[in-house]
Amino acid sequence: MGSEIIITLPLRLTNAANSREPFWSVAKRAQEHRSVTRMAFGRRIELNASQCATITCTRIYSGRGKPMDVHDGLPGAFKSVVDGIADAMGISDNDPRVNWLYAQRKGERMEVELRVEMRAVA
């Protein structure tokens, strides 16, 4: 039996690898994204030994925005968000019980949709 949690956050993701910003600007944004994500999830998601999770991180970009490179741009842009989710779950971001997926779509405004599907291990 599975459960699902969907959270939408008003975050604007950028690919830090392609950023032309000073280091401190990138670091400050990463810290904000990580803490906002951690607070949004709170302790609502806890995995026990008999559970696994698929977490889909979707970047929603608005009118003038454009899609990111799905190979390295999108996962890189989500790094601090993923760290915030892992912090909230009390796990490492490379925990084998978690499968991370990345997507993007056009929408009304820039935001991030996080969909967590938890299920028992077969």
pLDDT in tens, 61-103: 887 778 888 888 899 999 999 999 999 988 999 999 999 999 9
Domain range list for the chain? 2-120
State percent of the chain over pLDDT 70: 91
Q: String of b and e for 88-106 (b: at least 16 CB within 10 Å)?
A: bbebeeeeeebebebebee
Which CATH code for domain 2-120?
A: 3.30.1330.70
In angstroms, the CA 55 to CA 13 distance is 17
Instruction: With cut-offs at 50, 70 and 90, classify the pLDDT of residue 2.
Output: low
Q: Is pLDDT of 57 > 60?
A: yes
